[in-house]
Amino acid sequence: MSSLHELAHAKINLYLHVTGRRQADGYHLLDSLAVFAGAADRLDLTVGSGRGGHVALDIKGRFSAGLGGEDCADNLIVRAGAILREVAGEQAARDLSDVGITLHKELPVASGIGGGSADAAAALRLLLDVWKLSLPPARLNAVATRLGADVPVCLEQRAARMEGIGEVLSPAPHLPPCGMMLVNCGQSVSTPQVFKARAPVFTPRATLPPAWATLADMVRDLAAQTNDLQEAACAICPEILTVLDALQAAPGCRLARMSGSGATCFALFDSPEAARAAQAAVQQVGAHWWVWAGDLCRSSADVRTSIPA
C-alpha cells in the first residue's frame, strides 16, 4: 500500500474582464489570465481495503474550521469521487478501491484564489491515478466543469487564459521571471453577491502579446486591464482597499490588484526574494492578515509524489 499526495496551488487572476452573459442560463462570460502561486493546500490519499469507490474525507490545517463533519459530504473533493464513479459506470464502480483523503487546508476559504477548485482538481488527479481511469481531454474538461468553472484551469496548474465561464482555456503569454505576494484580510466575500453588486457593464476581451520579455512589459499591459469585480468587492468589504494600499506601498511593488471575486489581493515584484523582503512591511499594517510571498509555479511536474506507506 502506498499513499499519494497532491499540492493544490492558489490560482491568481492577473486581470478579470466580464465580457458578457449567456442567454441560456445567465452565467457571466469572462476573460482572465490565470497563474498559480507557490502557496498551496495539500491532499494526502491512502488506499483502503474496501471496494465501491467511496471517498472518506478528513480536513485539517490552518483554515479547516467549519469545513469538517457533515459538511464533508458536500465538499468538492467528495463530489469529485461521486462524479468519477458515475463516469466509470455502476458495474465498474463496484471494483474501485475505497480511499481516504486528508485535506490540509492552508489557503483561505472563499477568497478569490480558487482554493476549493484547486482542491477538487487535485482530487481528480489523485483519483484518476489510483482508480486507473483515463478520460479524453474534452471529457475530463466537462467533468471538471461540473465541479466548478475554475476547476478545469486548476487541473494543469499552469498559466492559462480563461474564457467562456472559465472552462475555455488557451495558452497564456510566456511570463517573465517575477515574484508575488498574496494577502487576505480574513473576511470571506460571496461571489454571487459581488456579481450582483457590480455595475451592469461589460469589458472587451483583452489584447495580449504571445510573450512578455520583461516584467516591466507585463506590468505595462496588465495595468491597462482591470478586475471588473474589484470595485463591487471593495464596497462589500472595505478592508480590501486597505490591503491594496499596503501592497502598493510595499517596497518594490510593481502592480497590485484583487484576484477573482476577492478578498485576496496580489502584488508583483521583480523576484521571489523581493516579494519576501517586502512581506514584513505589509504585515505591519495588518498583523492579522494571511500573507504569503514567493514564486509562481513554472511547471506542474512536481506536484505529485509517491510516498511509502
- In SS3 terms, 248-291 reads as HHCCCCCEEEECCCCCCEEEEECCHHHHHHCHHHHHHHCCCCEE
Of 22, 38, 40, the closest CA to residue 30 belongs to: 22
Q: How far apart are CA 254 and CA 288, in angstroms?
A: 24
Residue type at 53 in one-letter notation? G
Q: How confident is the model at residue 278 (pLDDT cuts 50, 70, 90)?
A: very high
Q: Is the pLDDT of residue 202 over 70?
A: yes
Are residues 158 and 21 part of one domain? yes
Are 144 and 43 in a shared domain? yes
Residues 115 and 222 in one domain: no
Q: Is residue 304 part of a domain?
A: no
CA distance 81 to 145: 14
pLDDT at 67: 86
Domain final residue, candidates 117, 151, 170: 170
* CB within 8 Å of 221: residues ≥ 6 apart: 208, 209, 212
Q: What is the pLDDT of residue 306?
A: 33
> How confident is the model over 108-145, as pLDDT tens digits?
998 999 999 999 999 999 999 999 999 999 999 999 99
Same-domain status, 162 and 180 = no
Q: Does 152 lie in the same domain as 88?
A: yes
Task: Give the DSSP H/E element, type plus range, for residue 247.
Answer: helix 239-249
In angstroms, rounded to a whole number, what is the distance separating the alpha carbons of residues 231 and 225?
14
End-of-domain residue from the set 148, 170, 192:
170
DSSP codes, 30-88: EEEEEEEEEEEEEEEEEEEEEES--EEEEEESTT-TTSSGGGGGGSHHHHHHHHHHHHH
Structure confidence at residue 21 (pLDDT):
95
pLDDT in tens, 218-238: 999 999 999 999 999 999 999
- Do residues 18 and 228 touch, judged by C-beta distance below 8 A? yes
Which of the four pLDDT bands, split at 50, 70 and 90, describes residue 66? confident
Report yes or no: 105 and 60 within 8 Å, Cβ to Cβ: yes
CATH number at residue 50: 3.30.230.10
Looking at the structure, do residues 18 and 150 belong to the same domain, yes or no?
yes
* pLDDT, tens only, 165-196: 999 999 999 999 999 999 999 999 999 999 99
Instruction: Cite the active site residues.
Output: 11, 150
Task: Note the pLDDT tens digit of each residue in 70-84.
Answer: 657 789 999 999 999
pTM: 0.94
**How many angstroms separate the Cα of 207 from the Cα of each of 17, 20, 175, 204, 267?**
12, 17, 15, 9, 22
pLDDT at 91 over 70: yes
| Same domain flag for 100 and 193 | no
Q: Is the pLDDT of residue 302 over 60?
A: no
Q: Please tell me the predicted confidence (pLDDT) of residue 69.
A: 65
5 neighbors 42 (Cβ within 8 angstroms): yes
Structural domains counted in the chain: 2
Average pLDDT over residues 264-282: 98
Beta bridge partners of 3: 46, 307
C-alpha cell at 58: 478528513
Q: What interhelical angle do 137-147 and 76-88 show, nearest 10?
A: 140
The pLDDT value recorded for residue 30 is 98
Whole domain around residue 185: which residue ranges?
A: 172-295
Domain boundary among 170, 203, 236: 170
Helix axes 115-130, 137-147, angle to 10 degrees: 140
